[in-house]
Amino acid sequence: MKTATHGQQEKACDSMSDSPLSRLRNVGISAHIDSGKTTLTERILYYAGRIHKIQEVRGEGATMDHMDLEKERGITITSAATTVPWNDSQINIIDTPGHVDFTVEVERSLRVLDGAIMVLCGVAGVQSQSITVDRQMKRYGVPRISFINKLDRQGADPVNAIKGLEEKLGLTTIQLQLPIGVGADLEGIIDLITMKAAYFDGDKGEKVRWEDIPDAMREEAESARMGMLDALSLYDDELLEMLLEEKPVPEELIHSIIRRGTLANEITPVLMGSAYKNKGVQLLLDAMIRYLPSPLDREIFALDLANDEAETVLDTNHEAPLVALAFKLVDETFGQLTYMRIYQGRIQRGNKYINARIGKPHRFGRILRMHADDREEVESASAGDIVAIVGLDCVSGDTYCGESVRYTMESMHVMDPVISLAVKPQKTADRDKLAKALNRFAKEDPTFHVSSDAETGDTLISGMGELHLDVYCERIRREYKCELEVGRPRVSYRESPSQTIEYNYKHKKQTGGAGQYAHIAGKLEPLPEGHEEHYEFESKVFGGRIPTEYIPSVDKGFQSVLAKGPLAGYEIIGVKMILEDGSHHAVDSSDMAFQICARDAFKETFLKSKPVLLEPVMKVQVETPSEFQGNIIGDLSSRRGIVESTEISGPLTTVTSLVPLAQMFGYATEVRSMSQGKATFTMEFDKYQRVPKVVQDEIIEAAKKKK
């Protein structure tokens, strides 16, 4: 593999123009928190000539962590986009957060990207957020390369990391490299395709030096290469024949099989190194170009609103009508910044394009290529590009089209919030500032919800975890100069039926003049646990017993009461309403009559279904020195937690458990005190499950006292 030096890439960057689509890569870098994604991205920017000085996450802050809060906390909070050149190709990169509280940033990035790099910590291997990222990549069918990072750390074990990819994520891995030493002995990387050893010289590892494989590792490298070829032979008959006949295998054939298998999501190439120690990053960049898809390699569908939402394959031709997806919004001083992926056609500054959701044209003013918080203004952008538009009034997930088509793209998956806080300004004069901030953040982040408590009048903010809401509270204080009073965290419980109950309800009202009449009958059923949809409606009415135009009214009436259940005022989920029969009146029946009838029927029937409270249960993963393992497990059990597994890796033990969110408030302080500050933990939403009867009675009693 030929790899450009830092100086060569710097020249390429200065003259970079739009690459042909076959040489364009849209790539996301995703991983569990603290696996080294942002450090890896920083090296990529340096070797590609985008920056001239490497900055570290801990310290002055990496280039892509441009918010003050990101630099202070040493974590990525928002995804950041940039564009770099590499070997006559162009890579659009999005660096995403690793903390589960900001998982929507990963979700919306993977929704529009063509390929991804999954980064693993060489010591910890596959961790809880790695599993979430894997699920997101599979949801959008995004091909990926896995990069095992941090092989310079004590206890690093690439074999264990690869085993985790196969056993925990169900991936078929193809190991393409071997490290020359691990931990403090990490010297370089062996490429199993070229059977050469790469060393990284210079102050920042910018010069790649190729040598023969060290004699001490020759046998291991040959064995690993044969394992790689055997695995690849399952995907190519020509390679299988060469191996059987013991013929030499051309490098280009190996590359083409790996690329084909990666694009088909059949295999995951595994590379390795240490971004912090500047080893292996250039080889990863080469692999991005070789194996990950260009926009030409992926078949993308849109729904044609003018043709009954028929699926239509999009064309990357620049001359085709525009189809572009707005996937991220950022409110700024001079207007909204809308991040957009162009799938078909071209956008030109000053032209008008139609928002397919509302059917109205919007003029595109300034078009920007983003580099973290820096920007470069361009006149136009074409299919395959990721750019930002200034001043559009739209929402996340909107599709923009040329005048001759009306297509819409499927939007991203968004998880429901699981935790709430009551907030109010310390000064009455700051109410407008708070309202403005909450409006902005709710528009930017689909997992951040704002509501008001009808009983107390409190403003509630809801999100994915304590850190998520803490960051927004801090941003309100800093960006809007609004000091807050913050209440105790509240768990977002849910109410759900536990039994199937039949209903037969008649709504009849006569007060002079036209009356109201509606009659419905059917069943209320609990949906299976873990069902994706929270509510389903099915009509089995036939023979005109209820006129067709009133069926949606019944559905609407049922849905109108889901927001607040009768047990403790929480949202109702896990319910299927089946409409089987009913009757109507030629004069007195109406849309409103059937809505009222359905609403009252639901309230009455739901109470008969022995409803239960459900609570969010979190997957908690604690990494601790083994000497504190007993204390950690004992404490998790006392929090109504169920320990799923314990894994020992050198001096560390990883404890994975399921714990109700209600028991996890303040855990960060507790876990530090139990482990002399040496344990770390991550937490992500796993599922809703039934609350124990004693706890349910306490929650209901507390809700009654608030009224």
Residue 47 has pLDDT above 50, yes or no: yes
- pLDDT per position as a tens digit, 541-585: 887 889 999 999 999 999 999 988 999 888 999 999 999 999 998
Determine the pLDDT at residue 18.
43
- pLDDT per position as a tens digit, 470-494: 888 998 998 889 999 888 788 889 9
* pLDDT class of 681 with cuts at 50, 70, 90: confident
Of 422, 575, 569, nearest in space to 493 by CA:
569
Other CB atoms within 10 Å distance of the CB of residue 104: 24
- pLDDT per position as a tens digit, 553-562: 999 999 999 9
Determine the pLDDT at residue 19.
47
Residue 100 has pLDDT above 80, yes or no: no
Residue 81 has pLDDT above 90, yes or no: no
Q: Are 428 and 324 in contact (CB under 8 A)?
A: no
Determine the pLDDT at residue 16.
37
Residue 707 has pLDDT above 70, yes or no: no
Choice between 128 and 233, residue whose per-residue pLDDT is larger: 233
* pLDDT class of 2 with cuts at 50, 70, 90: very low
Determine the pLDDT at residue 513.
64
Determine the pLDDT at residue 217.
95
Choice between 655 and 128, residue whose per-residue pLDDT is larger: 655
Q: What is the mean pLDDT of residues 237-262?
A: 95
Chain position carrying tokens 């609990």? 526
As a whole number, the mean pLDDT across the chain is 87
Looking at the chain, how many residues does it have?
A: 707
Structure tokens at 93: 């990169």
Q: Are 232 and 270 in contact (CB under 8 A)?
A: no
Q: What is the mean pLDDT of residues 448-468?
A: 80
Determine the pLDDT at residue 95.
77
Per 3-state DSSP, the chain is made up of helix, strand and coil in percentages (nearest 5) of 30, 30, 35
Decide the pairing of beta strands 24-31 and 115-121.
parallel
Residue 77 has pLDDT above 60, yes or no: no
Determine the pLDDT at residue 248.
92
Determine the pLDDT at residue 454.
63
Residue 159 has pLDDT above 70, yes or no: yes
Q: What is the 3-state secondary structure (H, E, C) of 430-467?
A: HHHHHHHHHHHHHHHCCCCEEEECCCCCCEEEEECCHH
- Range in 16-20, 179-183, 234-238, 386-390 the model is least confident about: 16-20
- Range in 132-136, 381-385, 412-416 the model is least confident about: 412-416
Q: What is the 3-state secondary structure (H, E, C) of 55-90?
A: CCCCCCCCCCCCCHHHHHHCCCCCCEEEEEEECCEE
Per cent of the chain over pLDDT 70 is 91
User: Which residues, 6+ apart, have CB-to-CB distance to 200 below 8 Å?
Assistant: 188, 206, 207, 208, 209, 278, 279, 280, 282
Determine the pLDDT at residue 465.
79
Range from 209-223, 420-434, 440-454 that averages highest in pLDDT: 209-223
Residue 229 has pLDDT above 90, yes or no: yes
Range from 81-90, 500-509, 640-649 that averages highest in pLDDT: 500-509
- Range in 71-75, 168-172, 285-289, 367-371 the model is least confident about: 71-75
d(CA 538, CA 521): 12
Q: What is the mean pLDDT of residues 35-58?
A: 82
Residue 96 has pLDDT above 90, yes or no: no
CA distances from 628 to 96, 161, 643 (A): 32, 24, 15
Residue 257 has pLDDT above 50, yes or no: yes
Determine the pLDDT at residue 10.
42
Determine the pLDDT at residue 78.
63
Residue 13 has pLDDT above 50, yes or no: no
Q: What is the mean pLDDT of residues 395-414?
A: 85
* pLDDT class of 419 with cuts at 50, 70, 90: confident
d(CA 72, CA 474): 12
d(CA 230, CA 253): 14
- Range in 202-206, 333-337, 695-699 the model is least confident about: 333-337
Residue 644 has pLDDT above 50, yes or no: yes
Residue 62 has pLDDT above 70, yes or no: no
Determine the pLDDT at residue 685.
84
Determine the pLDDT at residue 252.
95
Q: Are 107 and 413 in contact (CB under 8 A)?
A: yes
User: Which residues, 6+ apart, have CB-to-CB distance to 316 below 8 Å?
Assistant: 21, 295, 296, 343, 344, 383, 384
* Identity of the residue numbered 57: V
Q: What is the mean pLDDT of residues 500-505?
A: 96
* pLDDT class of 511 with cuts at 50, 70, 90: low
pTM of the complete model: 0.73
CA 132 to chain centroid, in Å, comes to 8
Residue 57 has pLDDT above 70, yes or no: no
Residue 646 has pLDDT above 80, yes or no: yes
* pLDDT class of 32 with cuts at 50, 70, 90: confident
Chain position carrying tokens 């960049």? 285
